[in-house]
Structure 1
Amino acid sequence: MDTGEKLTWQNVTIVAIGFTVTLAAAFTGYYKYRERSYFLLQTADAIEEEANAFTLGVGACSDFGPDQEQEALKLFTQRVEEHRNEQRRRQQQLDQPADQASPTAGSSPT
């Protein structure tokens, strides 16, 4: 920021642009927008897959007949809630500072 004796509009503009880029990089690094959107898209895809399986009667819902719609709906709801809980867990891990994140952040519970 040392501009010498002259404080021209070019020097002020360069400093302002540098500060803006630094501030934008800090926000994107802190809030982790890319990871958040990736995990949200992954969860949305998994829920859509469950909905398609329920509608078409395939996958986990293939064991249920037409007269067992309530049981299939219960299984569908349970599986969707599992996906939502997994998303919440990932979101909480992203909210933690890097030095407090658990070393097994990438593993899923079995």
Structure 2
Amino acid sequence: MKEPKYDLIDLFSGAGGLSNGFIQTDRFNVVAAVEINKSAQQTFIKNHDNNSSIILKELQSNDSDITKIDFTKLNFNPEKTVVVGGPPCQGFSNANRQKNYLISGNNQLVKEFVRAIRDIKP
């Protein structure tokens, strides 16, 4: 019996290494990615069949900025969707112990990752 394939959304996708690993299992199809860095976007596109439409962008700014994307307006099937990603963790890292402030701008991006999960409901 053939195992089902799942749709994969890659947040903070970078060049696409994480989603590429999922593709190699032959159980996932990458349907969307969010990455604000334009160079990383270009590499992601090359690593994923040159499919530029895979990058989610906010309509008005045309940026792939997770803080501006309304995931509630996207049509993903929660029963067959998986969300992965690598939100920045520098604000939580022990390497940042010398910093005197508790809240890093990067910490807010982790909250955006959680918001995406909440709205997509995979």
Q: Between Structure 1 and Structure 2, which shows a larger proportion of helix residues? A: 1
- The structure carrying a bigger strand percent of its residues is 2
TM-score by length of 1: 0.31
Length-normalised TM-score, structure 2: 0.29
* Structure number with larger C-alpha Rg: 1
